[in-house]
Amino acid sequence: MRADGTWASPAPAHVYLRTLTFAAKATTLSTVGVDVSPHLFRAAGASTAATRAGDNPYLASALLHHSDAGVTSAHYNRATSLTAGDRLRQTFRQYEKK
């Protein structure tokens, strides 16, 4: 049986990709000033999970709801780079104050 939509709520109606994309972009635009696609929203969530909870390697995988370790690893690698850059920035700022 082919699914024609996504069940995004307990209501007995399908939510189609076009509707979901519009809702995500409109909500993020009105909230943070940038329209963000569902794909980028998920990627940001996975990278945030990796940055904030790096000791839980399956959190991003569960958030993305997939089992491809390569994709999850890419988010953790990006998060590790961001975290390292932030720590380096903090170190430089400490020395600037002296």
Those residues of the chain that have pLDDT short of 70 are 1-15, 66, 75, 98
> What pLDDT score does 35 carry?
92
> What pLDDT score does 1 carry?
42
Residue type at position 24: A
User: Which of 74, 83, 24 minimizes the C-alpha distance to 52?
Assistant: 83
> What pLDDT score does 2 carry?
46
